[in-house]
Structure 1
Amino acid sequence: MSSVNTNEISDKKMARRALVGSTSGAIIEWYDFSLYATASAVIFPKLFFPNTDPFIATILSFATFATGFLARPVGAIIFGHFGDRIGRKNALIVTLWMMGLSSAAMGLIPSYDSIGIWAPILLVLLRLIQGIGVGGEWAGSILLSMEWGKKKQQGFMASIPNAGVGAGMLLSSAVIGLCITLGGDSFYTWGWRIPFLASLLLLVAGLIIRSKIDETPSFRKVQDGEAVSKLPVLDVMKKHPKQILYSALVKLAEHTPFAIYTTFLINYSINNYNVSSSYMVNTNTAASFMLCIFIPLFGYLSDKVGIKRLSRMGIAATLVWGFVFVGLVSTGVHALIVTAMLISMIPFCMQTGALPALASQAFPARLRYSGASLGTQIPAIFAGGIAPMVCTYLIQATGTIWSIGIYIAIVSVLGLIGTSKLKNLSEQESTLSAGNESSMILKTPEDVKA
């Protein structure tokens, strides 16, 4: 067998391993992150904010949920820097440690009744660590898979790790749903801790899998061409600020409705329509299962119809569906609330199936980790982070749930603007003239063919 064929077989094997490693790691980290999202709606208002008005307790619980999103841009900066300096793989090992240990520690925090104000303080600190980890994980897992795949399959390869979001949600919802079935007060006494402590087992599994993956060909070419940026975050902010902004608008349109469909809807339905916690958690589990199927499906379709085109279609569908969603929820009929959440996953998956490749292709390989991280994690503050609080406030201020439909429409319009303006710079060529600073973009093989 020739050395060429041997290398091709080896590359295919490593591509499969990278796909499994990036996806499994994403599942583990989003299990931890989604676990907190569900807990903030179902568990934490009772255990960590028990002496306040139910409305205030909900706001405070969602506020601690939002701190994780506030920290995600910090993670994007830190791991964007190291991901473009030392490689995708090494950065992702660290994010996995951060997520696993912080989640397990949450399962050990005493309740408010035991240590008072220190309980929510510790919760916030650990949530900040989670946010930093996820802020660095998202782009890294996408690039680890996409950069090992073929160019004609970039949409599909990038979407698979993104489906780890759904798989992580599915796993966390299933575990919480199982623990809720514990009799009496067992769940709120000790049963809720089990899903968080289980993070340690997932952490070990994820580290074993990721340790067997090689660095991506794109980053190795950057290293071989001596084109590694000394300050990639500053470089990408200086050279491609509009790309970061447009990516942020697309992410805003994708993630804001999703936070409404899941985190906010669970709490709103429980408090206003007498829907049981287990009923909504099980609905969230079914929605997560849909993500596992439809995100890769739409990622595959994005390679056929065009990544940007599919993204626009998903945003337009979300704009229209937002008002139908509100109409179904406002009936208060449990079956229609479930239907609203489940159908919402379709336009969301259209967006999120295309977004990973769209955001990654918006930047040249040498600055791709930093650019994709900043472009998707900065809007996390205004999307998933504060969306549940904004919805709670809007209903309180306007007296109608229809204000949520307008909220979804506004972010969708912004997303359509971002998608139309975003450029594909993955094939960008540039040169470094003599005497320029070393942080300038170099002409490298991966910038010619990403």
Structure 2
Amino acid sequence: MSTEINHDNLTEKERKSMARRAGLASLVGTTIEWYDFFLFGTMAALVFPQLFFPGADPVAGLLQSFAALFVGFAARPLGAAFFGYFGDRIGRKATLVTTLLLMGIASTLIGLLPSYETWGVAATILLVFFRFCQGFGAGGEWGGSVVLSVEWSSKGKRGLMGSMTQVASPIALLLSSAVVSATIFLTGDNFHVWGWRIPFLISIILVIIGFIIRRGVEDSPSFKKMQKEDRLSKQPVRDVFRRYPKTLFLVILAGLAQGVPFYVFTTFAISYGSGQLQLESQFLTNTLMVVSIVEIAVIFYAAHLSDKYNRKSIFYVGALITVLMAFPFFWLFDTKVAGLVVLAMSLAIIGAGTVYGPLAALIAECFPAELRYSGTSLGYQLSAAIQGISPMLCVYLLDTFNSTAPISIYLVVASLIAIVAVVNLKKAKYMDAEDVAS
């Protein structure tokens, strides 16, 4: 357990040490939460249609499975509002510890859940409920993690520090893909019977590790200062909607340039590759690991460039890369040639990664300190709820038009909308003066 520290008396060395600790806590904690969140997406594509939605034709079963996946996205704005309130009222740290525990418990229970064959519709209902809990926890995780790391950083490092939360996403995708791939290899034909449970049960170990790390982090100096001066908002969620409705709307649209391509090029690509193209599941999960490594490097470099040059410019470059890759991705993927499939997914993720690098700091800088947890969380998670329809929408478009062209158009439109939104985003007043960690 950490002891209370006096932020006013911290030396420069101590501030930098706390900033590094906050960055590590953001990286590890968010990685664990996204591991659980992405794991559900992979299983929704590979095994849940047969285990929890039997009796339907393959397309209907996949749509039902992705609908359960979407429940997590729909819950994220609710979690953002709930945890945003407490994050801006009682502190970032305590709230983040709670979101971590909620996610871990829900994921572990999914791993213990009997299938439809054993419990009938009750199993399906519980699966959807646990997915809701996952989304509720994730809704408060991202914003709090970003705010904690950005508020501990100096002005010239906000992009890089914010990317500690961002890079957790591909690391989690890498980790979940590696665990699923190893489980498929070790359990063979039993993967669809009981092997799929192993990755979910592993999450309880990861949660314990994350809990220990997060307990050692202090709330940021800016939050402590607001608390000391009694400047905390009494109704932060209400105040975000009342004082920053335009900013909130623009942040929601800005997030489309990352979330839409990410879920099309990962979650949908898995189901499309295994279902339509008859590619091996293990090959696809292995490819996701390669994609994750590429995205990690891109996120860090893009965040660094956003500190050195301009966050908006880096964002525009990423969105335009997605526009350029929207059609070539499927042209390469449809060849079913292993090397070209890997190339398609690796090139396509560069756009989303370039957007994601500066996105955390870009959003956090739009809201004042007293509303930052709520504003950042709500904007990002409301956008995520929209993004969450992507796998379902892609399945529908493919089944309706028997072509991937409408999916490519969807990617282009989402990216262009996001660019227009970011052009109109403004940094919060006094944000540059709030250089609390320098």
**Pick from 344, 350, 356: which aligns with 1:352?**
356
Shift of 1:184: 4.5
Measured after TM superposition, the shift of residue 51 of structure 1 is 1.7
Distance 2:69 2:349 in 1: 22
Instruction: Tell me if 1:19 matches 2:23.
Output: yes
* 1:39 alignment counterpart: 43
User: Contact conserved, 2:34 with 2:168, CA < 8 A, in 1?
Assistant: yes
Q: Quote how far apart the aligned CAs of 1:331 are.
A: 3.1
Give the letter for the 1:403 counterpart: P
CA, structure 1 residues 169+345, in 2 after alignment: closer, same or farther (shift >3 Å)? same
Offset from partner CA, 1:374-400 (integer Å, 9 cap, x none): 1110011111x1101101111122221
Q: Find the aligned partners of 2:334 and 2:305 in 1 and give their Cα distance.
A: 34
CA–CA separation in structure 2 for the residues paired with 1:106 and 1:63: 16
2:426 alignment partner AA: K
Q: Give per-residue Cα distances to partners, 1:332-379, cap 9 Å, x unaligned.
A: 434322211111121111100010000100111111111111111001
Name 1:104's counterpart in structure 2.
108
Question: How do residues 59-208 of structure 1 correspond to structure 2 at under 5 angstroms?
Answer: 59-208=63-212
CA distance in 2, matches of 1:428, 1:309: 19
Whole-angstrom distance in 1 between the partners of 2:324 and 2:60: 32
CA–CA distance in structure 1, aligned partners of residues 210 and 436 of structure 2: 33
> Which one-letter code corresponds to 1:168 in the other structure?
A
Partner of 2:4: none
* Distance (whole Å) between structure 2 residues aligned to residue 192 and residue 134 of structure 1: 22
Counterpart in 2 of 1:442? none
**Shift of the alpha carbon at 1:13?**
1.4
Deviates more, 1:335-344 or 1:66-75: 335-344
Q: Which residue does 1:57 correspond to in 2?
A: 61
How far does residue 420 in structure 1 lie from its aligned partner after superposition? 0.3
Residue 329 of structure 1 deviates from its aligned partner by 2.3
Aligned match of 2:405 in 402, 405, 415?
Answer: 402
Q: Name the residue aligned to 2:396.
A: 393
Q: Give the match for residue 218 of structure 1.
A: 222
* 2:155–2:435 CA contact under 8 A, matched in 1: no
Q: Which residue type is aligned with residue 423 of structure 2?
A: S
1:261 corresponds to which residue?
265
Indicate conservation of the 8 Å contact 1:111/1:119, yes or no. Answer: yes
Q: 1:306 aligns with which of 310, 329, 348?
A: 310
Q: Deviations over 1:388-420 (max 9, x none)?
A: 110111112222111111000110111011110
Query: What does 1:344-383 correspond to in 2, within 5 Å?
Result: 344-383=348-387
1:281 aligns with 2:285: yes
8 A contact 1:326–1:404 mirrored in 2:
no
- Structure 2 Cα separation of the partners of residues 65 and 18 of structure 1: 30
Provide the secondary structure at the position in 2 that maps to 1:191.
coil
8 Å CA contact retained: 1:160, 1:295:
no
SS in 1 for 2:278: coil
**SS of residue paired to 1:214:** coil
Residue of structure 2 in register with 1:295 after alignment: 299
Aligned counterparts of 2:141 and 2:344: Cα–Cα separation in 1: 30
Moved more, 368-377 or 45-54: 45-54
- Residues 73 and 135 in structure 2, CA contact (< 8 A), matched pair in contact too: yes
Q: Distance in 1 between matches of 2:288 and 2:246?
A: 35
Q: Are 2:346 and 1:333 equivalent residues in the alignment?
A: no
Contact 2:154 2:435 in 1 (8 A): no
CA contact (8 A) 2:254 2:419 kept: yes
Contact 1:249/1:418 (CA < 8 Å) preserved in 2? yes
1:209 maps to 2:213: yes
Q: Are the structure 2 counterparts of residues 259 and 373 from structure 1 closer, same or farther at C-alpha, using a change threshold of 3 Å? A: same
Per the alignment, in what secondary structure is the counterpart of residue 193 of structure 2? helix
Contact 2:42/2:267 (CA < 8 Å) preserved in 1? yes
Deviation at 1:304, TM superposition (A): 1.0
CA contact (8 A) 2:151 2:436 kept: no
Instruction: State the Cα RMSD in Å.
Output: 1.8
- Equivalent residue for 1:423? 426
CA distance in 2 between partners of 1:6 and 1:159 (Å)? 25
Decide whether aligned partners of structure 1 residues 424 and 184 sit closer, same or farther in structure 2, where only a CA change above 3 A counts.
closer
Amino acid at match of 1:182: L
**Counterparts of 2:8 and 2:53, CA distance in 1:** 63
In the alignment, is the contact (CA less than 8 A) between 2:263 and 2:391 conserved in 1? yes
Q: Which one-letter code corresponds to 2:406 in the other structure? A: S
Whether contact under 8 Å (1:426, 1:449) holds in the other structure is no
Is the 1:221–1:446 contact (alpha carbons within 8 Å) kept by the matching residues of 2?
A: no
Q: Report how far residue 428 of structure 1 moved.
A: 5.5
**150 and 66 in structure 1: CA distance in 2 versus 1, 3 angstrom threshold:** same
TM-score (norm 2): 0.95
Q: Is the 8 A contact 2:75 2:136 kept in 1?
A: yes
SS of equivalent residue, structure 1 residue 50: coil
Q: Which moved more, 1:333-342 or 1:240-249?
A: 333-342
Partner of 1:441: none
**Residue range with higher mean Cα deviation, 325-334 or 394-403:** 325-334
Letter in 1 for 2:296: C
d(CA) in 1 for partners of 2:10, 2:157: 22
Aligned residues: 432
Amino acid at match of 1:394: L
CA 426–278 in structure 1, closer or farther in 2 if over 3 Å, else same: farther
Q: Residue type matched to 2:351 in 1?
A: P
Contact 1:426/1:447 (8 A) holds in 2: no
Q: Normalising by structure 1, report the TM-score.
A: 0.93
* Partner residue in 2 for 1:432: none
Aligned to 1:323: 327
